Structure 1
Amino acid sequence: MTRFTPYNTFICVIVALGSYGYGFGFGVFVSSVGQPGFFMDLGLDQTSDYTARVMGATFSLFAFGAALGGITQGWTADWIGRKKTLAFAGITSTVGAALVAGSVNVAMLVTTRILHGFGLGMILCLVPLYTTEIAPPKTRGIFSGMTVIGYGMGYLMVAWISVATYYATNQTLQWRLPLALAAVGPLGMLVGLPFIPESPRYLCWIDRYEEAHQILQRLHRDPDDPGNSLAEAEFIQIKQQVQFDRQEKAGYVQMFKKPSWRKRSILVMFLLFASQSTGVTGISNYLVPILTNLGFEGGFPLIIYAIYSTVGTFFVFVVTFTVDRVGRRRMFLCCYPLLAVVLLIEGLLQRQYLGTSNRAGNIACVVMMNIYIMVFQLADSPTIIWASEVLPTTIRAKGIGLAIFSMMSGFITFSAPGGLAFKNLQWGMFLIFAGLCVISAIIIYIWASSPSRHKFLLASCTAIPETKGLPVEEIGDLFGDPVVVHLTQDEHGIVAEKADVPSVEHTEVVMEASKA
């Protein structure tokens, strides 16, 4: 089995800096609205409806930019390659972060957040795309999980940095410094990009087989396998499957014409939208004002937000290092009903204690919100891993782009009205999110149980297969696509038949007649 080597670890760290930049860039505005200097410098009244609309617009336009970035990388990642697109995204998000930090008025802040979001939206797609395409089958969850670890660490760092800057005597520094530091992650990724390889699957797609072979040899080197037969077998499988898959047109329209591709495209879009319907965006974006309404004053809302981010990031690590054993399907299918229960309890607690001086009741609300983020990460973290691995190489970039577009559509849906909604409905918003979790759970577990009646939804329990441990090229078999070559059970050989595949000697590469 391929182990983590210093080289693999280095690659994961470099690309995770990109997703760190997304987490930091997303979270930085959440914490900025908790800084007194932010409102003073921009001439905003914290209690006005206008300010609530400005906050909603700023969050939503960031998501709009990210959605456009996700769709755009679907073309550029296939046109110029994964690495060059990562470089373009890194430059765009760095420039965007600098412009946001230097904003002199509300109009500049709102518009530059679109550019910042565009670059970070590309990165959010490209990191799981890239890590999926370089990972060995048995540890792909850890490799792809670096995406969620990266942006979890971004949330964590910006939360605690904002706690520190809250106590700065310079009120402009309070909010501008964290915004400027949003450029650090993309810059770090840009510095490291020349030292990491292009995706071997992309190289096979553009007929650069020798280069792809050399990269796989280095990526999947196993000290216990002198012949490096895993890399040899995987190279043959990737080469032949990509050659077969690219016979199909690979545009956005074709993704919804071919039944097996349509099924996967709808599933990844549904799961990423459903993750936003849990309320995570609205709750996280407006957590500081929510905590203020619960009676926490001064720097305490920022400290509680930082603890909330720490708890969430810890459970991202838990998911990343267990998902290859527990499985993706079980983790995100089991948690939607539990999320509904947690949100219901939170709403009822806030109904009872919001606006009161009952310290124990207000603390109970905070504890329940931390339980909420624990359960959310167990449900959500595997979705980006699953979404990035279920589509074939020829449409993977576009599929992840659609997934992130859907996620950002959910972001806008629940963020644009969020400022006014939390201001007016308060605890009632938690009941709305609980109801949406129930609807998502029903769709996942029950709806489309008869595919002939609901063929365009395809979100039943049976429609979301387990993918842990499977080579990326063999996942298509779960959706009815032909698989040209299968790896043996020990992954060191290849055969054309799937049933009861025998193991072979580690130094052998066995290939039977292909049915393709």
Structure 2
Amino acid sequence: MAPQIELGAYQQADISWWKQPNLRRLYLMLPFLFLGSTTLGYDGSLLNGLQSMGSWQDFFNHPIGSTLGIYGAMPGFGGLAVLMFAPYIADNVGRRNGTAIGCLFVILGALLQAFPPASNPAPMYLAGRFFIGFGGNLTNGTCPLLITEISHPRHRGKTTTIYNTLWYLGAIIAAWASYGTLVHLSGDLEWRLPTGLQCAMPGIQLIFLWFIPESPRFLISKERDDEALAFLIKYHGNGDPNNAFARWEYNEIRETLRMEKAAAANNGWYELVRTPGNRKRCALIICTAIFSQCSGNGLVSYYLSSVLKTIGIIEPTKQTLINGGLTIWAFLVSLAFAFAVDKIGRRVLFLTAGVGMLVAFTVWTACSAVYAKTGSSGAGSAVLAMIFLFYGVAGLAWPGLTVSYTVEILPYNIRAKGLTLCFVFTALSGIFNQYVNPIGLLNLEWKYYFVYIAVLVIECLVIYFYFVETRGPTLEEIALLFDGENAHVATEPPVEKSQMTSEDEHVEIVLK
């Protein structure tokens, strides 16, 4: 059994970031990193909105089944193409530079999607969607790393969890932009404008990215120790060069990275499975990635229009209104629980979300069956209510924790590779969902839902018996929960208690 970690007074105290000028300045820059997730959310919701537009349907010859599926799945192929390179970019070029490269590819993809030729639009449109996935996954593979590694340990859980919840902000913008152009515009501009707006978020991120500092862990890994220490003193020590916690944190990071590097010994990707602790991490990452995509949420994320048609809601304006309302609801729930992640705990949120989704989806399926047989408007309304309930309980965990949990459980030397593993299985699951879902809905209609009921049962069992709680420890100390006595963690504080003032007596690690 892994040792328990009891954190000292500094970690348990309420470190109010808004009362510390430098930390406040750092956190006010984080929203520009959150835009990486917002960009992906925009694309996820955009296809929903476009399917409700007659002009888009006419331009692309009314795609259905496998043709519509390949439009939805293409960003996943783009994401897979970049994932083998993403960890090397993050570890060698830097978290910040990697994000900038990803932004450029997203902008390119958005422009290609917005201006395909009318004579044969599919090739350029698919190329644009490929580059959206390529750049989006590169950005998504670096932004969470940077957020996690520059955040104060006391706030790491909240800031990293908030990152992925901002997926819904992009979905909201896309849904309501689509609704606005559907109502107020006509012709090809109706769909070209919201498609071109995909350039906005990566463009803003690219401009402001250079005001955000690089990860101190990346700097130390490149032997730029002075820069890393200066960062920690400025932001985590509020500019005090004698701050005991900032210097303790610097020493813990530096020594832990040294020990990890020595232990890894040039094992490359094999390091992901070399030790029992790493194998367990990989299993958890794979489960988290698959569950985040294959729990029934993909049905609504990409094919809400098809789902709504099964209960008789076929009016385009009504479909786009429901899509817009659903994204706002999901965003509010997920953001609220992102702030509660350190109080409630990761495992509890995962399990509550899994059970809630299972119940909601089961009722959803039953009501869909009733509607299919009787055409009851009450059954149709119940399905719509269950869709909202389903996304509400899913918001307890999956939007935010999918990335933050993955990043937390990984030590620095495999953090970028482990996050890549997460995105590989997320992309594979997404491709399966986005290609198979429209075919399943077309041929089986509501009966297709039974597949996801089975998946949700398995999901709840895996979470209950296998998931590890990571609330509390610093990034370096989480290794103790997986590796026990074999963990490569420097836990000794750099100063004696007698040298600390009452204000700076920050951390005492007690291993039981």
Aligned to 1:115: 131
Q: In the alignment, residue 17 of structure 2 is paired with which amino acid?
A: R
Aligned to 1:295: 312
Q: Distance in 2 between matches of 1:2 and 1:244?
A: 32
Alpha-carbon offset, residue 2 of structure 1: 5.4
Aligned to 1:376: 394
Alpha-carbon offset, residue 264 of structure 1: 0.7
Alpha-carbon offset, residue 140 of structure 1: 0.9
Alpha-carbon offset, residue 34 of structure 1: 1.5
Residues 122-154 of structure 1, C-alpha deviations (whole Å, 9 max, x = no match): 122222111111112221122102322321210
Q: Distance in 1 between matches of 2:177 and 2:344?
A: 34
Aligned to 1:245: 260
The yes-or-no answer on 1:391 pairing with 2:410 is yes
Q: Distance in 2 between matches of 1:25 and 1:228?
A: 44
Range 284-293 or range 184-193, more displaced: 284-293
Change (3 A) 1:203 1:226: closer
The yes-or-no answer on 1:275 pairing with 2:289 is no
Aligned to 2:58, which of 36, 40, 53?
40
Q: Distance in 1 between matches of 2:267 and 2:169?
A: 35
Q: Distance in 1 between matches of 2:274 and 2:24?
A: 43
Aligned to 1:313, which of 307, 312, 331?
331
Change (3 A) 1:487 1:386: farther
Q: Distance in 2 between matches of 1:217 and 1:7?
A: 14
Q: Distance in 2 between matches of 1:59 and 1:7?
A: 39
Change (3 A) 1:432 1:509: closer
Aligned to 1:220: 236
Q: Distance in 1 between matches of 2:272 and 2:145?
A: 17
The yes-or-no answer on 1:195 pairing with 2:211 is yes
Query: Aligned pairs, how many?
Result: 480
Alpha-carbon offset, residue 429 of structure 1: 2.1
Query: Are the counterparts in 2 of residues 140 and 324 from structure 1 also a CA contact under 8 Å?
Result: no
Change (3 A) 1:170 1:230: same
Alpha-carbon offset, residue 175 of structure 1: 1.3
Q: Percent identity?
A: 26
Change (3 A) 1:103 1:221: farther
Aligned to 1:67: 80
Change (3 A) 1:379 1:16: closer
Change (3 A) 1:487 1:415: farther
Alpha-carbon offset, residue 477 of structure 1: 0.7
Alpha-carbon offset, residue 415 of structure 1: 1.8
Aligned to 1:3: 17
Change (3 A) 1:115 1:505: same
TM-score, normalised relative to structure 2 = 0.88
Query: Are the counterparts in 2 of residues 319 and 378 from structure 1 also a CA contact under 8 Å?
Result: yes
Residues 365-384 of structure 1, C-alpha deviations (whole Å, 9 max, x = no match): 11110000011121312232
Q: In the alignment, residue 490 of structure 2 is paired with which amino acid?
A: V
Alpha-carbon offset, residue 317 of structure 1: 0.7
Residues 292-345 of structure 1, C-alpha deviations (whole Å, 9 max, x = no match): 332221300110011111111011111211001111111102322321121111
Change (3 A) 1:365 1:71: same
Query: Are the counterparts in 2 of residues 350 and 365 from structure 1 also a CA contact under 8 Å?
Result: yes
The alignment partner of 1:287 has SS state of helix
Alpha-carbon offset, residue 357 of structure 1: 5.2
> Could you list the runs of 5+ residues in structure 1 that have no partner in the other structure?
446-459, 496-502
Q: In the alignment, residue 106 of structure 1 is paired with which amino acid?
A: A
Q: Distance in 1 between matches of 2:446 and 2:323?
A: 18
Alpha-carbon offset, residue 397 of structure 1: 0.7
Aligned to 2:94: 81
Aligned to 2:104: 91
Q: Distance in 2 between matches of 1:234 and 1:201?
A: 11
Aligned to 1:284: 301
Q: Distance in 1 between matches of 2:353 and 2:135?
A: 31
> Could you list the runs of 5+ residues in structure 2 that have no partner in the other structure?
1-14
Change (3 A) 1:36 1:356: farther
Aligned to 2:441, which of 403, 415, 422?
422
Q: In the alignment, residue 342 of structure 1 is paired with which amino acid?
A: A
Aligned to 2:504, which of 501, 507, 511?
507
Residues 165-218 of structure 1, C-alpha deviations (whole Å, 9 max, x = no match): 111332312211111111111111100111111100111111100001111122
Change (3 A) 1:75 1:133: same
Query: Are the counterparts in 1 of residues 95 and 215 from structure 2 also a CA contact under 8 Å?
Result: yes
Q: Distance in 2 between matches of 1:175 and 1:393?
A: 43
Aligned to 2:246, which of 225, 231, 236?
231
Structure ranking higher on relative contact order (CA contacts 8 Å, 6+ apart):
2
Query: Are the counterparts in 1 of residues 42 and 198 from structure 2 also a CA contact under 8 Å?
Result: yes
Aligned to 1:498: none
Q: Please, what is the CA RMSD of the aligned residues?
A: 2.3
Aligned to 2:227, which of 208, 211, 231?
211
Aligned to 2:34, which of 10, 13, 16?
16
Change (3 A) 1:32 1:406: same
Q: Distance in 2 between matches of 1:511 and 1:374?
A: 39
The alignment partner of 1:472 has SS state of coil
Query: Are the counterparts in 2 of residues 159 and 305 from structure 1 also a CA contact under 8 Å?
Result: yes
Q: Distance in 2 between matches of 1:404 and 1:182?
A: 21
Residues 95-147 of structure 1, C-alpha deviations (whole Å, 9 max, x = no match): 11111111231222123211111100112222211111111222112210232
Q: In the alignment, residue 288 of structure 1 is paired with which amino acid?
A: S
The alignment partner of 1:360 has SS state of helix
Q: Distance in 2 between matches of 1:152 and 1:320?
A: 13
Range 343-352 or range 288-297, more displaced: 288-297
Change (3 A) 1:220 1:365: same
